[in-house]
Amino acid sequence: MNSILIKNIKTLVLAEEKPGLLKRGKEMADLPCIQNAYLKIEKGKIASFGRMEAIPIDLHSDQTLDATGKMVFPAFCDSHTHLVYPASREIEYVDKIKGLSYEEIAKRGGGILNSAKKMKETSLAELVDHAIERLEEIKNMGTGAVEIKSGYGLDTDEELKMLYAIRKLKELSPLTIKSTFLGAHSIPAQYRNNQSEYVDIVINEMIPQVAGEGLADYIDVFCDKGFFTVEDTERILMAGMKYGLRPKIHANELDYSGGIQVGVKYNALSVDHLEYTGDAEIEELKNTETIPTILPGAAFFLGMVYAPARKMIDAGLPVAMASDFNPGSSPSGNMQLILSMASILYRLTPEEAINACTLNGAYAMGISEELGSIAIGKTANVFITKKIPTIEFMPYYYGSNKVNTVILNGEIV
């Protein structure tokens, strides 16, 4: 395996001397940077870094990259996606423009159920092929780690098929991938009037098989108005936890659903979406291990209210931001765009936004000991930018790809 020396780096971003697992509240404004820096990568790991003036004279490497005028960032950690899916859903998007709400579309059998119908007609190989293309696309925009959920299957065989696809992607892709079982993503039409029967299937049929085959790292439930209730969620999370599956849940996207509270109660790693978050929910999240995760792409695309990210950070909470890449509510996995949305729509400073999309995203996937920042011994997942004038330029110059070179596990990819 090649060793790589990157020299003359204009700014080495989020280079931690004392790495922490996440940043909370005021700490999110802290983005340790080194100007005119070098970075040495060896055996896939960060071996050393520092100022160019202090570069050891005997430092040799198999390959040297000159980053004059360019910056080096830790690769993005996108902690919430649904990027394994059978087909795009742009027709619904037009319905949305014409005025139908997300819930109205779901009621008409559109939305997630539409994807579930198409899932049955899609082979495992097709799912993998399409997802590989999406992974390639997000990698080129700087993402190095991604969480992917099931949840377009909605019956045991189809959910398993999605999880097999994610397992295959873990094998094939240079990205670090975490998989989440989301059997409780929507209620199939035939269980509309008997929702608890579907919950029983998730608990008694799906979870044992998913866990038995080691197909999921986490478990998720869409706990919201018109989807799964707090009671359904509790039952599913308890069943999952018996198999060691920690929750990462969809909560409070459509209403004050109690999803945040139930997530905290079951020590969820993250609670995600959070458009409907009030003072009570913020209080509940304080002094917990659960990281609130905001998905700006979905709120933007669906024209929803924006989660109170600023208020959360000012209250001392950590915040992660992720793409929610999916065909219905956020058809983009571009984390550079998420950086821009974080600052423009949610009033995070560029420093806070970068922490939210890297280190805190890594925490929300349970991998921040290994990834999410530049620290000695961490996996070498970084990107080199094009020539850019300042860190602030990253969120400011929105819509174009500022990433030039991506290095994952110490290899240029």
Given the complex with ligand NIG, which of 329 and 385 has the nearer CB atom?
329
**Any contact of residue 292 with ligand NIG (CB under 6 A)?**
no
Looking up tokens 């790495």 gives 19
Given the complex with Fe ion, which of 275 and 324 has the nearer CB atom?
324
**Any contact of residue 158 with ligand NIG (CB under 6 A)?**
no
Given the complex with Fe ion, which of 217 and 324 has the nearer CB atom?
324
Which range of residues in 58-66, 324-332, 345-353, 397-405 is near Fe ion by CB under 5 A? Answer: 324-332
Contact code string over 202-241 relative to ligand NIG, x by CB under 6 A: --------------------x-------------------
Given the complex with ligand NIG, which of 225 and 347 has the nearer CB atom?
225
Size of the site for ligand NIG (CB under 6 A): 13
Size of the site for Fe ion (CB under 5 A): 1
**Any contact of residue 257 with ligand NIG (CB under 6 A)?**
no
Query: Which residues ranging from 56 to 95 are in contact with ligand NIG (CB under 6 A)?
Result: 82
Contact code string over 106-125 relative to ligand NIG, x by CB under 6 A: -----xx--x----------
**Any contact of residue 301 with ligand NIG (CB under 6 A)?**
no
**Any contact of residue 326 with ligand NIG (CB under 6 A)?**
yes
Given the complex with ligand NIG, which of 47 and 298 has the nearer CB atom?
298
Given the complex with ligand NIG, which of 3 and 115 has the nearer CB atom?
115
Min. distance of Cβ 232 from ligand NIG in angstroms?
15
* Residue 176 touches which of ligand NIG, Fe ion, none (Cβ within 5-8 Å per kind): none
Min. distance of Cβ 324 from ligand NIG in angstroms?
5
In three-state form (DSSP H/G/I as H, E/B as E, the rest C), the secondary structure along the chain is CCCEEEEEEEEEECECCCCCCCCCHHHHHCCCEEEEEEEEEECCEEEEEEEHHHCCCCCCCCEEEECCCEEEEECEEECCCCCCCCCCCHHHHHHHHCCCCHHHHHHCCCHHHHHHHHHHCCCHHHHHHHHHHHHHHHHHCCEEEEEEECCCCCCHHHHHHHHHHHHHHHHHCCCEEEEEEEEECCCCHHHCCCHHHHHHHHHHHHHHHHHHCCCCCEEEEEECCCCECHHHHHHHHHHHHHCCCEEEEEECCCCCCCHHHHHHHCCCCEEEECCCCCHHHHHHHCCCCCEEEECHHHHHHHCCCCCCHHHHHHCCCCCEECCCCECCCECCCCHHHHHHHHHHCCCCCHHHHHHHHCHHHHHHCCCCCCCCCECCCCECCEEEEEECCCCCHHHHCCCCCCEEEEEECCEEC
* Residue 294 touches which of ligand NIG, Fe ion, none (Cβ within 5-8 Å per kind): none
Query: Which residues ranging from 350 to 409 are in contact with ligand NIG (CB under 6 A)?
Result: none
Which residues sit at the interface with ligand NIG, rule CB under 6 A? 82, 111-112, 115, 222, 250, 253, 298, 324, 326-329
